[in-house]
Amino acid sequence: MTQHLLFRLGFAGGSLLLASFAFGAGKPASDLQPPNQRQATVDLALQLVKRAPPGPLPADMPSPFNPADFDKHDPAEGPAAAGPKPAGPAGGGGPAPSAAAPAQPAGPATDRETLEMLASQITPSGMIMLRGTPRLIFANKPFEVGTRFTASYNNQDYELELVAIDRTTFTLRYRGEEVTRPIRPVR
């Protein structure tokens, strides 16, 4: 019985194979356009993507990514928003001199002093190794090397970068200056 079944299956498979050769021997129709029509489309596409080169920039143009005096206090954000001020003695519209006005503390003079002052106020709670990478812990949040964050002092924001983490120290960078501080300062 199995021999008879194998013969029937072989005969059916052979007839299907023979039929596919007989009817499928024609050339399949192509979905591609003729070469001259394709070339016209390619030429149009090349014209559409062609860009004119940008003109030269002026030599004295400031960098938009690091403008000068970016960290300076904006007078529009400060105490001027509290209300109008009385005119000065000459009526020139300037603020009147006041002995009761608090003097603003002088800020750090150099980038190095700024960084040292800001770094002394930053106190991380510890360091962990997570997947082989050291992380510094601030307020129960891990920060890895390369993280940029903003520190504020005297109504000014300063962008600092975490550049190194050791077992007991971390290093911060501000405008090319670097300072290394202990993770848990001695009190």
Strands (E) across the chain are located at: 126-130, 133-138, 141-144, 148-153, 156-165, 169-174, 177-182
The answer to whether position 178 is within a domain reads yes
The answer to whether position 84 is within a domain reads no
The answer to whether position 116 is within a domain reads yes
Percent of the chain, pLDDT > 70? 75
Cα separation, 142 vs 128, whole angstroms:
8
The answer to whether position 145 is within a domain reads yes
Check residue 107 and give its pLDDT: 60
Beta bridge partners of 159: 150
**In this model, does residue 182 exceed pLDDT 80?**
yes
From 7-16, 44-53, 115-124, 141-150, the region with the lowest mean pLDDT: 7-16
pLDDT by residue (tens digit) across 44-83? Answer: 999 999 888 888 888 888 877 877 777 777 777 765 444 4
User: What is the extent of the structural domain holding 168?
Assistant: 111-182
Q: How many structural domains comprise the chain?
A: 1
The answer to whether position 93 is within a domain reads no
**In this model, does residue 13 exceed pLDDT 70?**
yes
Residue 165 has a CB neighbour count (10 Å cut-off) of 21
The answer to whether position 154 is within a domain reads yes
The answer to whether position 101 is within a domain reads no
Helices (H), 25-174: 35-49, 111-121
Whole-angstrom Cα Rg for the chain: 37
The answer to whether position 12 is within a domain reads no
